[in-house]
Amino acid sequence: DRTLNLAVIPGDGIGPEVVAQGLKVLEAVLPQDVKLETHEYDLGARRWHATGETLPDAELERLKEHDAILLGAIGDPGVPSGILERGLLLKLRFAFDHFVNLRPSRLFPNTDSPLAGRPDIDFVVVREGTEGPYVGNGGSIRTGTPQEVANEVSVNTAFGVERVVRDAYERARARTAKKLTLVHKNNVLVHAGHLWKNTFDRVGQEYPEVSTDYLHVDAATIFLVTDPARFDVIVTDNLFGDIITDLAAAVSGGIGLAASGNINPDREFPSMFEPVHGSAPDIAGSGKADPTATVLSVALLLRHLGFEAEAARIDEAVTADLAERAGTTRSTQETGDALAARVAG
Ligand code: IPM
Ligand code: MN
Protein backbone atom coordinates (compact mmCIF):
# COMPACT_ATOMS: atom_id res chain seq x y z
CA ASP A 1 0.00 0.00 0.00
CA ARG A 2 1.03 3.55 -0.61
CA THR A 3 0.91 6.26 2.04
CA LEU A 4 0.20 9.94 1.62
CA ASN A 5 1.92 11.61 4.52
CA LEU A 6 0.28 15.01 4.84
CA ALA A 7 1.11 17.93 7.12
CA VAL A 8 -1.92 20.01 7.99
CA ILE A 9 -1.76 23.59 9.20
CA PRO A 10 -5.38 24.57 9.88
CA GLY A 11 -4.34 28.02 11.13
CA ASP A 12 -6.69 30.78 12.19
CA GLY A 13 -10.23 32.03 11.68
CA ILE A 14 -12.07 29.95 9.12
CA GLY A 15 -8.87 27.97 8.39
CA PRO A 16 -9.73 24.94 10.55
CA GLU A 17 -13.32 24.85 9.21
CA VAL A 18 -12.37 24.81 5.54
CA VAL A 19 -9.44 22.44 6.08
CA ALA A 20 -11.73 19.89 7.75
CA GLN A 21 -13.85 19.82 4.59
CA GLY A 22 -10.79 19.66 2.35
CA LEU A 23 -9.57 16.60 4.26
CA LYS A 24 -13.00 15.01 4.05
CA VAL A 25 -12.97 15.32 0.27
CA LEU A 26 -9.39 14.07 0.12
CA GLU A 27 -10.32 10.95 2.12
CA ALA A 28 -13.28 10.35 -0.17
CA VAL A 29 -11.34 10.65 -3.42
CA LEU A 30 -8.15 8.76 -2.59
CA PRO A 31 -7.84 5.28 -4.08
CA GLN A 32 -8.40 2.42 -1.65
CA ASP A 33 -4.78 1.40 -1.60
CA VAL A 34 -3.52 4.80 -0.55
CA LYS A 35 -3.43 5.38 3.16
CA LEU A 36 -3.79 8.98 4.29
CA GLU A 37 -1.69 9.92 7.30
CA THR A 38 -2.14 13.43 8.60
CA HIS A 39 -0.13 15.31 11.15
CA GLU A 40 -1.56 18.55 12.45
CA TYR A 41 0.66 21.52 13.26
CA ASP A 42 -0.48 24.20 15.64
CA LEU A 43 0.85 27.30 13.90
CA GLY A 44 -0.66 30.72 13.46
CA ALA A 45 -2.13 33.49 15.58
CA ARG A 46 -3.21 31.23 18.46
CA ARG A 47 0.28 29.85 18.88
CA TRP A 48 1.83 33.31 18.62
CA HIS A 49 -0.49 34.75 21.25
CA ALA A 50 0.25 31.83 23.57
CA THR A 51 4.01 31.49 23.08
CA GLY A 52 5.32 34.30 20.89
CA GLU A 53 6.47 31.69 18.36
CA THR A 54 5.71 31.83 14.65
CA LEU A 55 7.60 28.87 13.18
CA PRO A 56 10.20 27.25 15.44
CA ASP A 57 13.09 25.56 13.61
CA ALA A 58 12.16 22.17 15.05
CA GLU A 59 8.70 22.43 13.46
CA LEU A 60 10.24 23.42 10.16
CA GLU A 61 12.42 20.32 10.28
CA ARG A 62 9.45 18.08 11.03
CA LEU A 63 7.40 19.66 8.25
CA LYS A 64 10.13 18.70 5.79
CA GLU A 65 9.35 15.03 6.28
CA HIS A 66 5.89 15.20 4.71
CA ASP A 67 4.79 14.60 1.13
CA ALA A 68 2.88 17.87 1.08
CA ILE A 69 1.35 20.53 3.31
CA LEU A 70 -2.28 21.66 3.39
CA LEU A 71 -2.74 25.09 4.93
CA GLY A 72 -6.04 26.76 5.82
CA ALA A 73 -5.45 30.41 6.61
CA ILE A 74 -3.16 32.43 8.81
CA GLY A 75 -3.73 35.67 10.66
CA ASP A 76 -6.00 37.54 13.00
CA PRO A 77 -6.56 41.20 13.76
CA GLY A 78 -4.81 40.87 17.11
CA VAL A 79 -1.43 40.13 15.55
CA PRO A 80 0.55 43.10 14.25
CA SER A 81 0.74 43.15 10.46
CA GLY A 82 3.75 41.35 9.04
CA ILE A 83 4.58 39.03 11.94
CA LEU A 84 2.77 35.93 10.73
CA GLU A 85 3.13 36.85 7.06
CA ARG A 86 6.91 37.01 7.29
CA GLY A 87 7.48 34.70 10.23
CA LEU A 88 5.27 31.85 9.08
CA LEU A 89 3.78 31.97 5.59
CA LEU A 90 6.69 33.52 3.71
CA LYS A 91 9.17 31.64 5.88
CA LEU A 92 7.61 28.37 4.71
CA ARG A 93 7.57 29.47 1.06
CA PHE A 94 11.21 30.51 1.21
CA ALA A 95 12.51 27.64 3.35
CA PHE A 96 10.88 25.05 1.12
CA ASP A 97 11.89 26.87 -2.05
CA HIS A 98 8.33 27.23 -3.34
CA PHE A 99 9.45 29.07 -6.41
CA VAL A 100 6.28 28.35 -8.37
CA ASN A 101 3.18 29.88 -6.86
CA LEU A 102 0.52 28.32 -9.04
CA ARG A 103 -2.87 30.03 -9.23
CA PRO A 104 -5.37 28.74 -11.79
CA SER A 105 -8.46 30.69 -12.80
CA ARG A 106 -11.49 29.11 -14.38
CA LEU A 107 -14.89 30.70 -14.71
CA PHE A 108 -17.19 28.46 -12.69
CA PRO A 109 -20.94 28.19 -13.33
CA ASN A 110 -23.41 30.32 -11.35
CA THR A 111 -20.93 32.56 -9.64
CA ASP A 112 -21.54 36.25 -9.19
CA SER A 113 -18.51 37.07 -11.31
CA PRO A 114 -18.93 40.32 -13.21
CA LEU A 115 -17.90 38.27 -16.21
CA ALA A 116 -20.47 35.52 -15.67
CA GLY A 117 -21.72 33.97 -18.86
CA ARG A 118 -18.35 34.26 -20.57
CA PRO A 119 -17.21 30.68 -20.92
CA ASP A 120 -13.70 31.57 -21.89
CA ILE A 121 -11.79 32.13 -18.65
CA ASP A 122 -9.31 29.34 -18.20
CA PHE A 123 -5.80 30.47 -17.44
CA VAL A 124 -3.15 29.86 -14.86
CA VAL A 125 -0.79 32.33 -13.25
CA VAL A 126 2.72 31.14 -12.48
CA ARG A 127 3.75 33.62 -9.83
CA GLU A 128 7.39 33.59 -8.76
CA GLY A 129 7.44 32.69 -5.07
CA THR A 130 10.87 33.23 -3.59
CA GLU A 131 12.22 36.54 -4.86
CA GLY A 132 11.09 40.02 -5.84
CA PRO A 133 10.18 42.62 -3.24
CA TYR A 134 9.09 39.82 -0.89
CA VAL A 135 12.58 38.83 0.24
CA GLY A 136 12.81 41.50 2.91
CA ASN A 137 15.86 43.12 1.40
CA GLY A 138 15.29 46.63 2.66
CA GLY A 139 15.48 48.93 5.59
CA SER A 140 14.88 52.44 6.69
CA ILE A 141 16.98 55.19 8.15
CA ARG A 142 15.85 58.22 10.14
CA THR A 143 12.83 56.05 10.85
CA GLY A 144 9.81 57.88 12.16
CA THR A 145 11.21 61.30 11.31
CA PRO A 146 10.17 63.59 8.49
CA GLN A 147 13.47 62.63 6.84
CA GLU A 148 12.74 58.92 6.85
CA VAL A 149 14.09 56.93 3.90
CA ALA A 150 12.60 53.47 3.40
CA ASN A 151 13.86 50.98 0.84
CA GLU A 152 12.30 47.70 -0.21
CA VAL A 153 14.57 46.22 -2.82
CA SER A 154 13.22 43.78 -5.39
CA VAL A 155 15.61 40.88 -5.76
CA ASN A 156 15.68 39.15 -9.14
CA THR A 157 18.37 36.59 -9.87
CA ALA A 158 19.18 35.03 -13.22
CA PHE A 159 18.80 31.63 -11.57
CA GLY A 160 15.47 32.45 -9.92
CA VAL A 161 13.95 34.06 -13.00
CA GLU A 162 15.07 31.32 -15.38
CA ARG A 163 13.72 28.45 -13.32
CA VAL A 164 10.25 29.96 -12.95
CA VAL A 165 10.10 31.05 -16.60
CA ARG A 166 11.11 27.54 -17.65
CA ASP A 167 8.43 26.02 -15.44
CA ALA A 168 5.85 28.32 -17.04
CA TYR A 169 6.94 27.28 -20.55
CA GLU A 170 6.61 23.64 -19.55
CA ARG A 171 3.08 24.24 -18.27
CA ALA A 172 2.15 26.23 -21.38
CA ARG A 173 3.44 23.50 -23.67
CA ALA A 174 1.30 20.92 -21.88
CA ARG A 175 -1.91 22.92 -22.43
CA THR A 176 -4.18 23.16 -25.44
CA ALA A 177 -3.69 26.84 -26.24
CA LYS A 178 0.08 26.74 -25.62
CA LYS A 179 0.40 30.45 -24.99
CA LEU A 180 2.60 32.16 -22.43
CA THR A 181 2.35 35.82 -21.43
CA LEU A 182 5.05 37.57 -19.46
CA VAL A 183 3.66 40.29 -17.21
CA HIS A 184 6.09 42.89 -15.89
CA LYS A 185 6.72 46.62 -16.04
CA ASN A 186 9.91 46.78 -18.06
CA ASN A 187 9.26 50.31 -19.26
CA VAL A 188 9.92 51.56 -15.73
CA LEU A 189 11.57 48.75 -13.77
CA VAL A 190 14.22 48.48 -16.43
CA HIS A 191 16.81 46.41 -14.59
CA ALA A 192 14.58 43.61 -13.38
CA GLY A 193 12.44 44.01 -16.48
CA HIS A 194 15.43 43.47 -18.71
CA LEU A 195 16.40 40.26 -16.90
CA TRP A 196 12.86 38.91 -17.07
CA LYS A 197 12.30 39.79 -20.73
CA ASN A 198 15.69 38.52 -21.89
CA THR A 199 15.26 35.29 -19.99
CA PHE A 200 11.73 34.91 -21.33
CA ASP A 201 12.91 35.38 -24.94
CA ARG A 202 15.96 33.16 -24.59
CA VAL A 203 14.23 30.24 -22.89
CA GLY A 204 11.36 30.63 -25.36
CA GLN A 205 13.65 29.53 -28.18
CA GLU A 206 13.57 26.06 -26.64
CA TYR A 207 9.76 26.04 -26.83
CA PRO A 208 8.88 26.83 -30.45
CA GLU A 209 5.37 25.34 -29.97
CA VAL A 210 4.53 27.96 -27.36
CA SER A 211 3.36 31.35 -28.60
CA THR A 212 4.41 34.28 -26.44
CA ASP A 213 3.19 37.71 -25.49
CA TYR A 214 4.38 40.48 -23.21
CA LEU A 215 2.18 42.89 -21.22
CA HIS A 216 2.95 45.62 -18.76
CA VAL A 217 1.20 44.83 -15.51
CA ASP A 218 -1.15 47.82 -15.68
CA ALA A 219 -2.33 46.81 -19.14
CA ALA A 220 -2.67 43.23 -17.96
CA THR A 221 -5.22 44.31 -15.34
CA ILE A 222 -7.35 45.84 -18.11
CA PHE A 223 -7.27 42.70 -20.24
CA LEU A 224 -7.98 40.44 -17.27
CA VAL A 225 -11.34 42.18 -17.08
CA THR A 226 -12.09 43.04 -20.70
CA ASP A 227 -10.55 40.11 -22.56
CA PRO A 228 -9.57 37.28 -20.20
CA ALA A 229 -9.73 34.79 -23.08
CA ARG A 230 -6.41 36.12 -24.33
CA PHE A 231 -4.66 34.46 -21.40
CA ASP A 232 -3.51 30.86 -21.12
CA VAL A 233 -0.43 30.81 -18.89
CA ILE A 234 0.91 33.98 -17.30
CA VAL A 235 4.35 34.20 -15.72
CA THR A 236 5.23 37.11 -13.50
CA ASP A 237 7.14 38.22 -10.43
CA ASN A 238 6.09 37.75 -6.83
CA LEU A 239 4.38 41.10 -6.22
CA PHE A 240 2.74 41.53 -9.63
CA GLY A 241 1.55 37.95 -9.27
CA ASP A 242 0.07 38.65 -5.85
CA ILE A 243 -1.96 41.54 -7.22
CA ILE A 244 -3.16 40.09 -10.50
CA THR A 245 -4.21 36.80 -8.91
CA ASP A 246 -6.59 38.60 -6.57
CA LEU A 247 -8.04 40.34 -9.60
CA ALA A 248 -8.17 37.03 -11.46
CA ALA A 249 -9.99 35.46 -8.52
CA ALA A 250 -12.50 38.29 -8.38
CA VAL A 251 -13.42 38.03 -12.05
CA SER A 252 -13.55 34.27 -12.21
CA GLY A 253 -15.92 33.47 -9.39
CA GLY A 254 -14.73 35.17 -6.26
CA ILE A 255 -12.04 34.62 -3.70
CA GLY A 256 -14.09 31.77 -2.19
CA LEU A 257 -13.13 29.64 -5.18
CA ALA A 258 -9.49 30.60 -5.69
CA ALA A 259 -6.98 27.81 -5.06
CA SER A 260 -3.22 27.94 -4.96
CA GLY A 261 -0.16 25.77 -4.78
CA ASN A 262 3.21 26.84 -3.47
CA ILE A 263 5.24 24.41 -5.43
CA ASN A 264 8.80 23.17 -5.27
CA PRO A 265 8.87 21.48 -8.67
CA ASP A 266 12.17 19.74 -7.88
CA ARG A 267 10.41 17.93 -5.02
CA GLU A 268 13.34 18.54 -2.77
CA PHE A 269 10.90 19.96 -0.23
CA PRO A 270 7.19 19.46 0.36
CA SER A 271 4.90 21.73 -1.62
CA MET A 272 2.17 23.62 0.19
CA PHE A 273 -1.42 24.08 -0.92
CA GLU A 274 -3.74 26.78 0.38
CA PRO A 275 -6.83 28.73 -0.59
CA VAL A 276 -5.96 32.25 -1.73
CA HIS A 277 -8.42 33.74 0.76
CA GLY A 278 -7.47 34.67 4.30
CA SER A 279 -8.73 33.74 7.75
CA ALA A 280 -11.93 35.87 7.52
CA PRO A 281 -12.24 36.39 11.29
CA ASP A 282 -15.59 38.13 10.80
CA ILE A 283 -17.28 34.87 9.76
CA ALA A 284 -15.13 32.40 11.71
CA GLY A 285 -17.24 29.88 13.59
CA SER A 286 -20.44 30.84 11.78
CA GLY A 287 -20.34 27.91 9.36
CA LYS A 288 -20.64 30.33 6.45
CA ALA A 289 -17.20 29.92 4.94
CA ASP A 290 -17.13 28.29 1.52
CA PRO A 291 -14.62 25.41 1.64
CA THR A 292 -14.49 25.15 -2.16
CA ALA A 293 -11.18 27.00 -2.56
CA THR A 294 -9.60 24.59 -0.09
CA VAL A 295 -11.09 21.61 -1.88
CA LEU A 296 -9.73 22.91 -5.18
CA SER A 297 -6.35 23.36 -3.48
CA VAL A 298 -6.55 19.68 -2.51
CA ALA A 299 -6.99 18.97 -6.23
CA LEU A 300 -3.79 20.88 -6.97
CA LEU A 301 -2.07 18.88 -4.24
CA LEU A 302 -3.20 15.60 -5.76
CA ARG A 303 -2.13 16.67 -9.24
CA HIS A 304 1.31 17.63 -7.92
CA LEU A 305 1.70 14.21 -6.32
CA GLY A 306 0.66 12.43 -9.50
CA PHE A 307 -2.98 11.67 -8.72
CA GLU A 308 -4.26 13.26 -11.94
CA ALA A 309 -7.50 11.27 -12.18
CA GLU A 310 -8.44 12.07 -8.59
CA ALA A 311 -7.64 15.75 -9.09
CA ALA A 312 -9.83 15.83 -12.18
CA ARG A 313 -12.68 14.23 -10.24
CA ILE A 314 -12.54 17.02 -7.69
CA ASP A 315 -12.54 19.70 -10.40
CA GLU A 316 -15.55 18.10 -12.03
CA ALA A 317 -17.34 17.72 -8.69
CA VAL A 318 -16.86 21.41 -7.94
CA THR A 319 -18.23 22.44 -11.33
CA ALA A 320 -21.25 20.19 -10.93
CA ASP A 321 -21.82 21.28 -7.36
CA LEU A 322 -21.69 24.97 -8.22
CA ALA A 323 -24.24 24.41 -10.96
CA GLU A 324 -26.55 22.67 -8.52
CA ARG A 325 -26.14 24.81 -5.43
CA ALA A 326 -27.10 28.04 -7.19
CA GLY A 327 -29.53 30.09 -5.17
CA THR A 328 -29.24 27.96 -2.04
CA THR A 329 -27.53 28.89 1.20
CA ARG A 330 -25.07 26.28 2.26
CA SER A 331 -23.07 25.76 5.39
CA THR A 332 -19.37 24.96 5.25
CA GLN A 333 -20.07 21.37 6.19
CA GLU A 334 -22.93 20.93 3.73
CA THR A 335 -20.68 21.96 0.87
CA GLY A 336 -17.95 19.63 2.11
CA ASP A 337 -20.44 16.76 2.35
CA ALA A 338 -21.83 17.45 -1.11
CA LEU A 339 -18.37 17.48 -2.68
CA ALA A 340 -17.22 14.39 -0.78
CA ALA A 341 -20.33 12.53 -1.95
CA ARG A 342 -19.71 13.53 -5.56
CA VAL A 343 -16.06 12.49 -5.69
CA ALA A 344 -16.81 9.20 -3.99
CA GLY A 345 -19.79 8.32 -6.13
C1 IPM B 1 -1.24 35.60 -0.77
C2 IPM B 1 -1.21 36.54 0.39
C3 IPM B 1 0.21 36.60 0.92
C4 IPM B 1 1.10 37.12 -0.19
C5 IPM B 1 0.39 37.43 2.20
C6 IPM B 1 -0.58 37.03 3.28
C7 IPM B 1 1.81 37.37 2.70
O8 IPM B 1 -1.68 37.79 0.02
O9 IPM B 1 -0.99 34.40 -0.57
O10 IPM B 1 -1.52 36.03 -1.89
O11 IPM B 1 1.23 38.33 -0.34
O12 IPM B 1 1.65 36.30 -0.89
MN1 MN C 1 -2.36 37.90 -2.03
Give residue 98's pLDDT.
98
**For ligand 1, atom 4, which residue shows the shortest CA distance?**
242
Q: For the segment 177-196, what is each residue's pLDDT rounded down to a tens digit? A: 999 999 999 999 999 999 99
Indicate whether 288 pLDDT > 90. Answer: yes
DSSP state letters, 114-142: TTTT-TT-EEEEEEE-S-BGGG--EEEES
Domain count, the chain: 2
- pLDDT at position 345 is 66
**168-186 CB burial, b ≥16 within 10 A, e <16:** bbebbeeeeebbbbbbbbb
Respond yes or no: is residue 179 known to be catalytic.
Answer: no
Is 314 part of a structural domain of the chain? yes
* Last residue in a domain, options 251, 269, 286: 251
- 242 and 304 both lie in a single domain: no
| pLDDT score, position 91 | 97
Q: Of 67, 122, 213, 246, which residue is the catalytic one?
A: 246
* Residue 115 lies inside a defined structural domain of this protein: no
Which ligand is nearest to the Cα of residue 239, counting in written order? 1
List for the chain the helix, strand, coil content (%; round to 5): 45, 20, 35
Which of these three, 251, 275, 298, is where a domain ends?
251
82 and 30 inside one domain:
yes
Confidence at 107, pLDDT banded by 50, 70, 90 = confident
Same domain, 152 and 232: yes
Give the global pTM. Answer: 0.96
Prediction ipTM score: 0.99
Question: Do both 86 and 161 map to the same domain?
Answer: no
CATH of the domain at 221: 3.40.718.10
Which residue of 74, 76, 83, 89 sits with most ligand 1 atoms within 8 Å of its CB, as the best mutation to test the pocket?
Answer: 89
Residue 29: domain span:
1-106+255-345
29 and 58: one domain? yes
Is 242 one of the annotated active-site residues of the chain? yes
Is 129 within a domain?
A: yes
SS3 6: strand
Task: Tell me what the mean pLDDT of segment 148-160 comes to.
Answer: 98
What spacing in Å lies between the alpha carbon of 242 and ligand 2's midpoint?
5
Q: How many CA atoms lie within 13 A of 326 on its CB side?
A: 10
Ligand 1 pocket, residue 213 CB under 6 Å: no
- Identity of the residue numbered 60: L
